[in-house]
Structure 1
Amino acid sequence: MPVEAKDVIMTGGCSHALDLCIQVIANRGQNILVPKPGFSIYKTLANSLGIHCKYYSLLPDKDWQVDLEDLESQIDGLTAAIVVNNPSNPCGSVFTRRHLEEILQVAEDNYVPIIADEIYAHFVFSGHEFYPIASLTTKVPVLSCGGLTKRFLIPGWRMGWITIHDRNDIFKEVRLGLTALTQRILGPNSLVQAAIPKILTQIPQKYFDDTLAILQRNAEIGYNALCNVPGLKPVMPAGAMYMMVGLEMDRFPAFGNDLEFTEKMVEEQSVFCLPTQCFAYSNYFRIVLTVPEEKLVEACERITEFCHNHYTHGDEVNGEASIYGLKDIGSIE
């Protein structure tokens, strides 16, 4: 979908783009609103500048949509921007057009601009559609961040950008500030810059289609493998590279939280998943869907075994909780 943008600022990757946006739009002592669960880098970047993060909730039972009432309740006189990550890391959610319009209405009503983290814009599964949030408003100014890393699978190349969507010249000083900030640090190296024309024009569409098909297939495999495992509640993603899996922690009394659960799973099964404490959330873990299919299948088998070995029924039998168990499926060398 074409989006009108007055300026594009090139940066050293999407994370650098986010860093510049936060620096230019907020002052020390102000706050930005970030999603919970959400990518931890928002807090890391903001806090290093003396800028506070306030969290708004995403709703797992509604495909990780924004809790709009909670979002609006977090806005105060020191709020400088709302960060909207769509498609989402870690949730794998993709917002509908209507939901994005609802988010924009909250921003418009409260005169708060948006920083849009849209690095996963091209990772949307069939049956869903990505809408650049800036394409849905003529009133709310938006700084949209993207980059080459995810779509082209070239982490480390450090090529990103900020598109400035500001039809009413609200961001006049912001635009000047971004330009000044980009002159303080060297951007992408000359080799990467020289490769961009071929990257953008000569990579066949089949490459992207095949990549997306693999991710969607892996999401379906992971979801189907775990949705019937006692104590787990996976949420089927609509895009990005991740799936969130809920934990019924009361069924795993040996562990106090998701961090302890995932640590023990690494120890016993050599399967590493990120606990959602990394994303300011609890009682979930995140699976990455970019591994080869056979590795994902084996990982899900090991997660299943781990859960069966530690799952406790609610009812007590002879004073002891009954435990599921499966045969050993081996370990990764």
Structure 2
Amino acid sequence: MNGFNEWRVTPSNTAKNTYNPIRAIVDGMKLTPNPEKAMIPLSIGDPTTFGNLPPPQIAVDSIIEGVQSKIFNGYAPSAGYKESREAVAQYLTKNGSRTKAEDVFLVSGCSSAIEHAISVLLDPGDNILIPRPGFSLYRTLCISQGMQVKSYNCLPERMWEVDLSHLESLIDERTKAIVVVNPSNPCGSNFTADHVRDIIEVAKKNKLPIIADEIYAGMTFKPLEFTSCCSQSEDVPILTCGGISKIFLVPGWRLGWVVMHDRKNIFGEEFRRGLMSLTQRTLGACTIVQSILPKLLENADNEYMDKAVGLIQSNAEIAFSRMSNMRGLKPVTPQAAFYMMVGISLRNFPKFKNEVEFTEAMVSEQSVFCLPASCFDYPGFFRIVLTVPEEKLKEACDRMEEFCNANYVP
């Protein structure tokens, strides 16, 4: 008889090694809001939470039209419909890309794009360089697959620019890629063209490809401009990860892309086939959402986007101005995306051992929840989300100021 005499069902190493720092830290926090004050969550990076940032009407109308057409209910090619890939290629030309439809691979959200980019570049035992502070998904994906991560520092005193010397010092023979997140979650930063070129020069010198996480491209605050990695590189091969979730405020629609930029043909056809093979593991992104890409992306630069980004920028200016004058806090000017990082002078708050206890107490005393930046491998700071309605943001600032005044020790 083949088989076993007893059950041997255990979780795989991939499952056991999958760890999300945000969930681990937040789930371990003591979060008991003040019952006399309504909770104001400044922690959730979901622009739909409060209902004040709806998607553009063209997106809603196009989705309804796509469903009613009944022609997008089946499978698409694993890398996406040709017309949809072409729409992404044309859209990215606005950021200085020279992209063809065959360079575009449509996937289920930007998180899936990141997973594809990592999986096509790294084997178990290889390492990848990621920013600190940084979004935790890179660490989660790599460690679960037996890959290693090394975190390079970004500098708050320089608007979160990359510490280039530290970045280069981390490179070894098992390093396979540099991750560049611009604009940044959690920092809300936006790199200048000069700084993007400086990063690319490090990659070129060390013959390393770049994974450019540009999900917040197009969400920079005026008068700043976004600079894509691919627009500045002639020699370094780049995988750009993006999607519609942030620029059109529809994270639940799960449509992203990973795009090859390779002017010197360094990746080669075998690499392209490998990326295509990875898309066959999931059999493609949602066909209904793919179907609206040509119309949606053609109308991306419009009054709707100006209004949405303008609202977030206004909130950023309010929050930065208010928190700059709060005792013991030092915010870093946000330049893009949804976020602002705020430093805490913990020596002036001796009641709290770290920023986790600080943010816990802000919940219990004031019912305002901000994410402790240990979630992003950066203790001593917390992150706030700027997509909240203005009146709630002002109320949250009032409460945070009251909290700081009550707990500050000169």
TM-score scaled to structure 2, two decimals? 0.75
Does the alignment pair 1:58 with 2:125?
A: no
**Residue in 2 that maps onto 1:317:** none
CA distance in 1, matches of 2:150, 2:286: 35
Does the alignment pair 1:18 with 2:150?
A: no
CA distance in 2, matches of 1:262, 1:188: 38
**Residue in 2 that maps onto 1:30:** 126
**Residue in 1 that maps onto 2:213:** 117
Counterpart amino acid of 2:254? R
CA distance in 1, matches of 2:121, 2:246: 25
Aligned with residue 328 of structure 2, among 227, 231, 237 = 231
**Which residues of 2 match residues 239-278 of structure 1 at below 5 A?**
239-278=336-375
CA distance in 1, matches of 2:283, 2:362: 42
Does the alignment pair 1:99 with 2:195?
A: yes
Distance 1:124 1:249, change over 3 A: same
Q: Is the 8 A contact 1:274 1:287 kept in 2?
A: yes
Aligned with residue 156 of structure 1, among 243, 252, 258 = 252
**Residue in 1 that maps onto 2:18:** none
CA distance in 1, matches of 2:308, 2:364: 31
Does the alignment pair 1:179 with 2:276?
A: yes
- Displacement of 1:195 in angstroms is 2.6
Q: Is the 8 A contact 1:5 1:166 kept in 2?
A: no
Does the alignment pair 1:3 with 2:100?
A: no
- Displacement of 1:200 in angstroms is 2.2
- Displacement of 1:11 in angstroms is 0.7
Structure with the bigger percentage of strand: 1
Distance 1:192 1:127, change over 3 A: same
Unmatched 5+ residue regions in structure 1?
314-333
Counterpart amino acid of 2:273? L
Distance 1:309 1:97, change over 3 A: same
Unmatched 5+ residue regions in structure 2?
1-94
- Displacement of 1:188 in angstroms is 2.3
Q: Deviations over 1:56-104 (max 9, x none)?
A: 0000000000000000001111101000000000101100011111101
What secondary structure, in the 3-state scheme, does the structure 1 residue paired with 2:303 have? helix
Distance 1:142 1:283, change over 3 A: same
Identity, in percent, stands at 53
CA distance in 1, matches of 2:300, 2:180: 29
**Residue in 1 that maps onto 2:178:** 82
- Displacement of 1:243 in angstroms is 0.4
Q: Deviations over 1:90-144 (max 9, x none)?
A: 1011000111111011111111110000000010011211111111111100000
What secondary structure, in the 3-state scheme, does the structure 2 residue paired with 1:93 have? coil
What secondary structure, in the 3-state scheme, does the structure 1 residue paired with 2:362 have? helix
Aligned with residue 409 of structure 2, among 293, 312, 315 = 312
Counterpart amino acid of 1:2? G
CA distance in 1, matches of 2:162, 2:309: 25
**Residue in 2 that maps onto 1:206:** 303
CA distance in 1, matches of 2:292, 2:96: 24
Q: Deviations over 1:280-331 (max 9, x none)?
A: 1110000100010000000111111111111111xxxxxxxxxxxxxxxxxx
TM-score scaled to structure 1, two decimals? 0.92
